[in-house]
């Protein structure tokens, strides 16, 4: 079975959390990064062991090895980038919030349906270690039946050691 070729678009601080969802997968592999800041794209590519680097979104969309676009761009770009990816025949994963309006969300859904590609809205903290530990504690019943949960989350890349 061919692995899903993933292109990460946007190499800001949240990208490190999204990469965790692809780590050690047998069915998907990050093949490319795309960021308007070439230095940042190179740095992330080096950290993640990725060989293809793009600073132009259109160039990434033309890459035949890329099956799925992971959009980690500012919210106002979600709609146009999703539509472009769908038109290029790429599946799309977009971080919440999906769009700036219900109209934009409808346009994104319509573009994906018309192109026959998958569109998902992704919550990136599902693979975040503190959230995973908190869920395990709750699932184990270690604190009884919660009536409220409050978490403060600081994002970033933990030190390697």
Span 58-103, pLDDT tens digits: 999 999 999 999 999 999 999 999 999 999 999 999 988 899 999 9
Higher pLDDT, 14 or 80: 80
Residue 156 in this model has a pLDDT that exceeds 60: no
Taking all residues of the chain, what is their mean pLDDT, rounded to a whole number?
A: 90
127-136 mean pLDDT:
81
Q: How far apart are CA 16 and CA 63, in angstroms?
A: 23
What pLDDT, on the 0 to 100 scale, is given for residue 126?
67
Determine the Cα–Cα distance for residues 154 and 152; give it in Å rounded to an integer.
7
Average pLDDT over residues 129-135: 82
pLDDT at 130: 79
What global pTM score does this model have? Answer: 0.78
Burial 36-65 (b: 16+ CB within 10 A, else e): eeeebbbebbeebebebbbeebeebbebee
Q: Are strands 28-34 and 4-9 parallel, antiparallel or unpaired?
A: parallel
- For 105, the token pair is 């969300």
pLDDT at position 157: 55
| Higher-pLDDT residue of 7, 24 | 7
* pLDDT score of 5 more than 80: yes
Structure tokens at 30: 């990050």
Peptide bond into 97 cis (omega under 30): yes
According to DSSP H, which parts of 22-142 are helical? Answer: 38-48, 57-61, 78-87, 102-115, 129-139
**Mean local confidence (pLDDT), 116-133:** 82
């Amino acid at each position: 079975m061919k692995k899903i070729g993933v292109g990460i678009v946007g190499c800001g601080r949240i990208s490190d959390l999204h990469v965790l969802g692809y780590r050690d997968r047998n069915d998907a592999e990050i093949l490319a990064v795309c960021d308007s800041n070439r230095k940042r794209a190179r740095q992330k590519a080096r950290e993640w062991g990725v060989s293809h680097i793009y600073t132009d979104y259109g160039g990434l969309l033309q890459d035949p090895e890329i099956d799925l676009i992971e959009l980690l761009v500012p919210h106002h770009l979600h709609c146009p980038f999703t539509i472009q990816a769908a038109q290029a025949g790429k599946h799309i994963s977009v971080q919440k919030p999906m769009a700036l309006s219900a109209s934009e969300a409808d346009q994104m859904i319509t573009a994906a349906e018309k192109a026959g590609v998958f569109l998902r809205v992704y919550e990136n903290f599902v693979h975040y270690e503190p959230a995973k530990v908190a869920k395990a504690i709750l699932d184990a019943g270690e604190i009884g039946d919660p009536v409220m949960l409050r978490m403060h989350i600081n994002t970033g890349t933990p030190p390697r050691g």
